[in-house]
Every structure is written in structure tokens, then in C-alpha cells.
Amino acid sequence: MRKTACNSVAKSTGSYARNSKLYSCPISIGTPGQKFNVALDTSSSMTWVPSILAPLKYRRTHKYRRYKDLFSTTHTTNHKHFDVIDDSGRVTGYLSEDRLTIAGLTIKNQSFGEALLEPNLFRGTTNDGILGLGFSNLEEEPSVFDNMVSQRLVTAPVFSVYLNRYGSGGPDSVLTLGGTNTYYCEEEFTFTDLTAPHRWQFKIDRVQLSNGNGIFSESGCQAVIDSRSPFIAGPFEETRAINEQLGGILFQGQFGLYNYKFNCSEVFNLPDVEFIVNGKKLSLSSRYYVVKMKLYGEDICVSRILAMGWRENDGPDWVLGLNFMRAYYTQFDKGNRRIGFAKARSFPKT
């Protein structure tokens, strides 16, 4: 079992940017190794980094690291192109194979993307690319973790993610490969089986408020864990009802988008939002579902429970993003096709 420290991306001065950051881990690719910081992505199996061959007009700035295939003695060209569009933007390029090292584990002949066009989401961050921790299907190249398992670099097909909360003490965020470190949780894991073949998707029994003022999705619903989403997203009617029951006031924010805001002096008195999974309450206090930010020079407290902008026909009803993962240490068990949650350990501020 190996672990690697993960660092928060985009530690900018604004509290909104700090609380909506991605989390990344250091890796190296090639021989000798070329270093990159890559964001964890549990929704995709693909790993990519910027290519030195990217046209100048598509590059962010000169300071970002780029993979140089001619500098690696173990590089192999794959000759396959890729084109991916998701909620963060579009990334295109071609596939290559090389050695990839993470947490002291070196994977041979790992397929990864050399990006020629990168999403705008990464502009203004120190993040270089993506580490795909999702499921790969039969048409895709094996993921980094799949190859770790097949090359017997880990003893179990399990990885776990602990994300520190910005402004708290304790260790950096940690990705544990091949198992789980119970140092980072305060209780036993609650496990539930996966309900989709190629996603970290599972059933939620219902959603409710701890003060008893609302029960939602009473007949059950589907959810995924997404380490690239900075918020919790759900069905329009239910997220509207939850925010209104919490006392949120609808307002029009930046870019014409609508959201709910709360009186900042009353945020810590708000009830918990509870997701019932396999009979267990997974509770989120307001510190996890409300973020303080500046808008037009004014401090406001904004809900991070938002309406989902789109949904695939067989896709999830809810997306549980970084604010959920900060509250719950999450175990991803590919071998048993299940996912586990345990309350994340809290550390005093330093």
C-alpha cells in the first residue's frame, strides 16, 4: 500500500477560489522522469498532460510544464487521437505510452494523452493535467490504476481519497493506492454496491434535512462521486426545495447565473443536509455546503447545492463533489465493485 500527498490547486487569495479548487498529486512521466501536477478525476479514466507540441496560440503561459517525448528514452507513440468534452471544457490531442510514476510506483507502458488543446478551467492554476481514476470501458486504454493492478504494483484493487478542508490543520490531502489508511477517518466505513458498470455510481435511499423540515428523493435516486466537481449538483426541483427549506434567497450572480444565498451571521445555525446511503446518514453541516465569497465588493454566503445542468439518460440524479469528499474519507473498491464512506478526521488549525 502506497500513499502520496495531494496538494490543493489554485490557492488564490479569494475565498471563493480557495473553496472551489481542485486537488492534485505529483507524478512523473518518462525516462528520465518529467514532473507534473495532475488533478484527481474520479469521473474519467483518462490521464493527460500538456504536450510540448501544442500550438503557441493554445498554450496557457510559458511557465506550465509540458511533456517532451523526445526527451524520454521509454516513449512510444500510440498514433491514436482523442477529443474529450465535459463540463470543464474541451481537451484534444493524441495518445502516447511511457513510464508513469506516482507514489514511488512505476507503471510500464502507460497510455496517456498529450494535450494540444486544454480546457479554460486550468487557466490561472498551477495544475498541469488530469489523473483519471474512473472506470475504463472496453474501447478505452487501461487506466493508470488498472495497470497498477495488472502489473501487481498494489496488493488490492482499492484506492482511497482524503481531502483536507482549506484553512484546517492536519496533513495534506492524501491518495492511498492499494488500500485505506484509517488514520484519516473517525468511524467505520459504510459500504454500498455500485449500480453502473463504468461509473462510481451508487444508490441514495433519500435526502433529508436534520431538522425534519424536508425529505427528498423518497423513492431513492442515483449518485456519483466526482472529484472534479466543486459542488453538489442534483435535480432542479429538489435542489430548489432544499435551498428554500434552508432559508436561501434566490439571486442572480456572476455571468447571469442564479443561486441561493444565506445570511452569513446565521450560516452555522443551518440544519445538516443528510444523504441516506445503505441505511446510514451521511450528514453535511453548513460548513461544507455553504461558501463565503465576495460579489461586487460585498461578502455573501452562497449555497454549493446546485441544480444539475444536464443529465444522461442512464446517468446519476446527484453529483457529490469536493465539498462532500472533504467531509467523508472515500474508499473506491474496484475489486468488490463498491464504494465506502467514513467521516473524515478533523484536525485542529495550525
On average, the pLDDT of the chain sits at 85
Residue 228 near residue 88 (C-beta atoms within 8 A): yes
What's the pLDDT score for residue 170? 64
What's the pLDDT score for residue 19? 32
Mean pLDDT calculated for residue range 103-125: 84
- The rounded distance, in Å, linking the Cα atoms of 322 and 91 is 22
What's the pLDDT score for residue 232? 95
2-162 matches 185-343 in fold: yes
Residue burial 287-301, b: 16+ Cβ < 10 Å; e: rest = ebbbbebeeeeeebb
pLDDT beyond 50 at 13: no
Among residues 293, 273, 267, the alpha carbon closest in space to that of 285 is found at 273
pLDDT tens, residue by residue, 225-267: 999 888 999 999 999 999 999 999 998 766 556 789 999 999 9
Residue 344 near residue 185 (C-beta atoms within 8 A): yes
Identify the top-confidence range among 113-122, 137-146, 325-334: 325-334
Among residues 275, 274, 280, 276, the alpha carbon closest in space to that of 190 is found at 280
Mean pLDDT calculated for residue range 76-95: 84
Residue 180 near residue 344 (C-beta atoms within 8 A): no
Among residues 38, 39, 46, 34, the alpha carbon closest in space to that of 22 is found at 39
Q: Classify the phi-psi angles of 278: left when phi > 0, otherwise alpha if psi is within -120 to 50, otherwise beta.
A: left
CATH dotted code for 2-162: 2.40.70.10
pLDDT band at residue 306 under the 50/70/90 scheme? very high
Residue 282 near residue 321 (C-beta atoms within 8 A): no
Going from N- to C-terminal start, the domains of the chain cover 2-162, 185-343
pLDDT band at residue 312 under the 50/70/90 scheme? low
What's the pLDDT score for residue 293? 87
3-class secondary-structure state, position 190 = strand
- The rounded distance, in Å, linking the Cα atoms of 221 and 300 is 31
Cell triple for residue 305? 447545492
Quote the percentage of the chain above a pLDDT of 90.
Answer: 59
pLDDT beyond 50 at 8: no
Output the CA–CA distances (angstroms, integers) from residue 64 to 29, 93, 331, in the order listed: 15, 17, 32
Backbone angles phi, psi at 198, to 5 degrees: -130, 30
Backbone angles phi, psi at 349, to 5 degrees: -65, 145
pLDDT band at residue 15 under the 50/70/90 scheme? very low
What's the pLDDT score for residue 56? 66
- The rounded distance, in Å, linking the Cα atoms of 159 and 339 is 10
Q: Which residues 6+ apart lie within 8 Å of 266 measured at CB?
A: 247
What's the pLDDT score for residue 16? 24
What global pTM score does this model have?
0.89
**313-317, Cβ contacts within 8 angstroms, sequence gap of 24 or more:** 314/196, 315/222, 315/224, 316/196, 316/199, 316/201, 316/221, 316/222, 316/223, 316/224, 317/204, 317/217, 317/221, 317/222, 317/223, 317/234, 317/235
Residue 223 near residue 320 (C-beta atoms within 8 A): yes
pLDDT tens, residue by residue, 186-214: 999 999 999 999 999 999 999 999 998 88
Place of cell 461544507: 288
pLDDT beyond 60 at 20: no
Catalytic residue among 128, 146, 205, 226: 226
Residue 8 near residue 166 (C-beta atoms within 8 A): yes
User: Is 272 a residue of the active site?
Assistant: no
- Partnered with residue 299 across adjacent β-strands are 294
User: Is 146 a residue of the active site?
Assistant: no
Question: Domain 185-343 adopts which CATH fold?
Answer: Cathepsin D, subunit A; domain 1 (2.40.70)
Catalytic residue among 41, 98, 128, 317: 41
pLDDT band at residue 14 under the 50/70/90 scheme? very low
pLDDT band at residue 9 under the 50/70/90 scheme? very low
> Looking at 23-27, 207-211, 282-286, which range is the least confident one?
23-27
pLDDT beyond 60 at 319: yes
Q: Which residues 6+ apart lie within 8 Å of 131 measured at CB?
A: 24, 25, 27, 38, 39, 40, 41, 47, 102, 144
Among residues 313, 311, 321, the alpha carbon closest in space to that of 275 is found at 321
